[in-house]
Amino acid sequence: MNDHQKEVYLETDQRILEHRIKPLITKELIEEHRNNPIGKHSENLKIVLNYFRRHHEEIKGKYLVICTEPHKKWCLGEHPGDRGKPYILFENECFDSREKAEHGLFIKRLKKYGLWDEEKLGQGDDL
């Protein structure tokens, strides 16, 4: 992809974020994810999750869930961008279940993409 194509792609991606994804973010959608982070989701939640899971042209810095103790501990982390390099582990963002970790990742991505409106959604500690 040349520079112009990449620029057009990223501009289109930003329009999708603003006009398609942002209007879907509600307390109800976040609550749906908290109650069922893995499994069957509503159409709106599927759209949001698919957007988050895309690479957006960069694997470096992509947030992910890392199991640090099988069946006991999951932490959020970040992809280093290069093969063979270890994931960056956020040791202060760990959970005792995969479901809680997946929801923590969801909240982190909402904030990363500027979709967390504290006036509308609160601080996020209770979600």
Highest mean pLDDT among 32-36, 51-55, 109-113: 32-36
Contact (CB, 8 A) for 59 and 87? no
Q: Where are the domains of the chain?
A: 3-121
- The DSSP output letter for 78 is E
pLDDT tens, residue by residue, 92-108: 999 999 999 999 999 99
How much is the pLDDT for 56? 67
Token output for 54: 């895309």
Which of 28, 56, 47, 52 lies closest to 102, judged by CA?
52
pLDDT tens, residue by residue, 40-70: 999 999 999 999 988 666 889 999 999 999 9
The owner of tokens 């991606």 is 13
How much is the pLDDT for 12? 92
